[in-house]
Amino acid sequence: MRLIILGPPGAGKGTQAEKIIEKFNIPHISTGEILRENISQQTELGKKAKEYVEKGMLVPDDLVVKIAQDRIMKEDCKDGFLLDGFPRTVAQAVALDAELDKLGIDLDKVINIDVDKDFLVERAITRRYCPKCGKTYNLKFNAPKTEGVCDDDGANLLQRKDDTEETVTNRIKVYTAQTSPLIDYYRAQGLLFDVDGSKSIEEVTEEIFKGLE
Ligand code: ADP
Ligand code: ADP
Atom of ligand 1 nearest to the CA of 142: 16
What pLDDT does residue 117 have? 87
Rounded Cα–Cα distance for residues 186 and 90 (Å): 10
Please report which confidence band the pLDDT of residue 134 belongs to, taking 50, 70 and 90 as the band edges.
confident
- Statement: residue 118 has pLDDT above 90: no
Check if 14 has its Cβ closer than 6 Å to any atom of ligand 2. no
**Model-wide pTM > 0.85:** yes
- Statement: residue 168 has pLDDT above 90: yes
SS3 32: helix
CA 92 – ligand 2 centroid, Å: 13
Catalytic sites, residue numbers: 13, 88, 127, 160, 171
Helices (H), the chain: 13-24, 31-40, 44-55, 61-72, 90-103, 117-125, 165-174, 181-188, 201-211
Q: Name the residue with higher pLDDT: 60 or 132.
A: 60
- Statement: residue 201 has pLDDT above 90: yes
Ligand in nearest proximity to the CA of 16: 1
Structure confidence by residue, pLDDT tens digits, 73-108: 999 999 999 999 999 999 999 999 999 999 999 999
- Statement: residue 23 has pLDDT above 90: yes
Check if 5 has its Cβ closer than 6 Å to any atom of ligand 1. no
